[in-house]
Amino acid sequence: MTAIERFLMSRRDLLRGAGGMAAYAMLPGVPAEPGAIRLRLLETSDLHMFIYDYDYYRDRPDLTLGLARTAELIAAARAEAPNCLLFDNGDTIQGNPLSDDVASGRRPFADGIHPMFRVMNLLRYDAGTLGNHEFNYGLDFLGRATAGARFPIVSANISWSDGRPYAPPTAVLERTLVAADGRRHRLKIGVIGFLPPQVTIWDKARLKERVVTEDIVQAASRHVPALRRKCDLLVALCHSGPGSANGQPGAENSALALAAVPGIDVVFLGHSHRVFPGPDYAGLAGADADKGTLAGIPAVMPGFWGSHLGVIDLDLARRGGDWMVAGFSGEARPIYRREAGKVTPLGATSAPVLAAAKPEHEAARTYVNRPIGTFEAPMTSYFAIAADDPSVALINAAQIAYARPLLAGTPHASLPLLSAASPMKAGPTPDSFTDIPAGPVALRHVADLYPYPNLITAVRVNGVQVKGWLERAAAFFSRRDPGREEPQPLVAGRHPAYNFDVIAGLTYSIDITRPARYDTGGRLLDAEAGRIGDLMLDGRPLADDQEVIVVTNNYRASGGGSFPGLDGGNIVFQGPDANRDAIVRYVEEKGTVPAPAPGVWRFKAPPRPLVATFDSAPAGRDHLAAYPAIRFIGEGEAGMARYAVTLGAVPG
């Protein structure tokens, strides 16, 4: 431990120790000491280019999202506190048809500035950091976009492969703050940023050999001591969830471990699209989910798409020559309330924000409404986690149609061609499902089916690896106790359905009464365990040594989701086109698309019928006729409806 680290450690201990505890009172109602400074720090995160309160896929307003709404909370928070700084925590410029249209290069940025940064400049952000999704459109585009930001964008754990920092690792903001006694003080606020080091895996196709990343805590240990010497207060913009206090090196979610690094005063979280403080993280070891602390220091995570504004109030007191945090409070303020399924906005929209991005918003609406073909049947994802699903089948059909001609004439052409896809939109809110009516199809419908700008990628694997892939996907389901007749949840907790890959070209069953081979993070639990049965290729059992080509996306092929055997090493084809482009091409070439025939997987029927429950959107009730094993049973959580699937109720 260096001298400065010892100094910082003792300073932190002092604050946390007996002497410091009394000072750690919650702020509301506690008058500031004369001479103390009340400083308010605001955070947005995971805005994903939602400037307007608009759902481009459905081409209608959505009151649960949009920086235009968060902006009104920012204005109100600033009006309450004379000393206020505003930060953004990344995943800022990618995530909807507006972002895709802006990134397409069809038009230069109006006035030369990327619309998100135009709006953020207008809102006078003080600093920002990069999320993982910033890299989805490539480094050249990201460079042109961030060039328009009139505030520093810091990131301490990504650098060019020659070692130069990709972005400034840290920044020091000098601000004049007004103390409770009216005196003015010049304070230096240090800012440091972090992103999940996995970006180089998730976007390998675009980042390979160009940039490298570093473990979040390791990067903090390198940069925080020097930054601490230059500032009075140190704020970490951590585009990462809490994870656990003793996380593995290189962990995707590292905010808890980061908060324990001496010298950091405040941690802003993101990436997990959840809310902190609050019930999302109740009981998390090392965190106080009521008060809003990680490892004892204030922390906040403001949901996603502008749903919340993170607010941390600090009481800064002068001890000796140093300013230190003598008290704090934190909250995530929502832009809306949902009661009995009805959304009530808690404020207005900011007219200047809407005006600033209007040209791009209108262009995006035109772009997504371009007709591309006709669907003979509705395409929904309401029951994609409980039954073989037509929306997943369509993605797989399009991927195979795209890849087959490209593989012709290669050494892989003689191998069976399979395709892996997953439900991309399957909750957790009633609005986050795919719902494409039968009839004319527009581009926005395809974007709704496949919201991520992934690239078509094919891997060459054998039968053992295919089984491992499916076992990892089957970890999505909780274990159904065959000895209990009363309903049990199909899925324990909230796991992303995009890790529930379905591999078309095969047929198989999933036995959820048996233990899973992997956990939902992809860690091997029991190599002997398995849920996949009746695995057939062309009517014959899939042999262990049978080689096959599987078309998937760059995220999965490069190791995203920690699937066994997928680490980028067996990629045989990396498309220049996005998976979504393949779907658009498929619909355009077919003209009229019949209802895709799923018939890939089914739940293994237990000896006696068993019931498992799950939540989906209430709108799914209109589509139940196509799902004989599924029925509506009542209200679910947070505006969702609860359904039950009976295993073994119907033949198949």
Smaller CB separation from Mg ion, 132 or 391 = 132
Site stretch for Mn ion (CB under 5 A), options 64-72, 83-91, 278-286, 469-477 = 83-91
Site stretch for Mn ion (CB under 5 A), options 86-94, 360-368, 452-460, 614-622 = 86-94
For position 271 contacting Mg ion by CB under 5 A, the verdict is yes
Q: Write phi, then psi, for 298 (nearest 5 degrees).
A: -65, 140
For position 134 contacting Mn ion by CB under 5 A, the verdict is no
Residue nearest to Mn ion according to CB distances in the complex: 91
CA distance 201 to 615: 32
Let me know the angle formed at the C-alpha of 492 by 488 and 494, rounded to the nearest 5 degrees.
Answer: 135
- The answer to whether 336 touches 307, Cβ cutoff 8 Å, is yes
Of these, 43, 55, 62, 91, which contacts Mg ion (CB under 5 A)? 91
Q: Write phi, then psi, for 3 (nearest 5 degrees).
A: -60, -40
For position 613 contacting Mg ion by CB under 5 A, the verdict is no
* The pairing of beta strand 417-421 with beta strand 502-504: antiparallel
Query: CB within 8 A of 61, min separation 6: which ones?
Result: 53, 54, 55
Smaller CB separation from Mg ion, 8 or 158 = 158
Site stretch for Mn ion (CB under 5 A), options 44-52, 311-319, 414-422, 430-438 = 44-52
- The answer to whether 567 touches 507, Cβ cutoff 8 Å, is no
Smaller CB separation from Mg ion, 131 or 373 = 131
Of these, 131, 169, 263, 292, which contacts Mg ion (CB under 5 A)? 131
Of these, 43, 46, 126, 232, which contacts Mn ion (CB under 5 A)? 46
For position 200 contacting Mg ion by CB under 5 A, the verdict is no
Of these, 94, 96, 132, 457, which contacts Mg ion (CB under 5 A)? 132
Smaller CB separation from Mn ion, 304 or 383 = 304
Distances (CA, A) of 133 to 142, 165, 186, 196, 271: 10, 19, 35, 10, 10
For position 91 contacting Mn ion by CB under 5 A, the verdict is yes
CB of 291 to Mn ion, least distance (A): 25
* The pairing of beta strand 439-442 with beta strand 371-375: antiparallel
Site stretch for Mn ion (CB under 5 A), options 70-78, 90-98, 116-124, 537-545 = 90-98
DSSP for 91-141, written as a single string: --S-SSHHHHHHHTTSSPPGGGS-HHHHHHHHTT--EEE--GGGGGG-HHH
Site stretch for Mg ion (CB under 5 A), options 122-130, 264-272, 448-456, 552-560 = 264-272
Task: Count residues near Mn ion (CB under 5 A).
Answer: 2
CA distance 141 to 207: 12
Smaller CB separation from Mg ion, 465 or 558 = 558
- The answer to whether 243 touches 286, Cβ cutoff 8 Å, is no
Smaller CB separation from Mg ion, 132 or 396 = 132
- The answer to whether 300 touches 268, Cβ cutoff 8 Å, is yes
Site stretch for Mg ion (CB under 5 A), options 54-62, 89-97, 258-266, 475-483 = 89-97
Query: CB within 8 A of 259, min separation 6: which ones?
Result: 236, 267, 294, 295, 296, 297, 299
CB of 551 to Mn ion, least distance (A): 26
Smaller CB separation from Mn ion, 48 or 445 = 48
CA distance 452 to 432: 14
Smaller CB separation from Mg ion, 83 or 240 = 240
List contacts with Mg ion (CB under 5 A).
91, 131-132, 271
Where on the chain is the footprint of Mn ion (CB under 5 A)?
46, 91
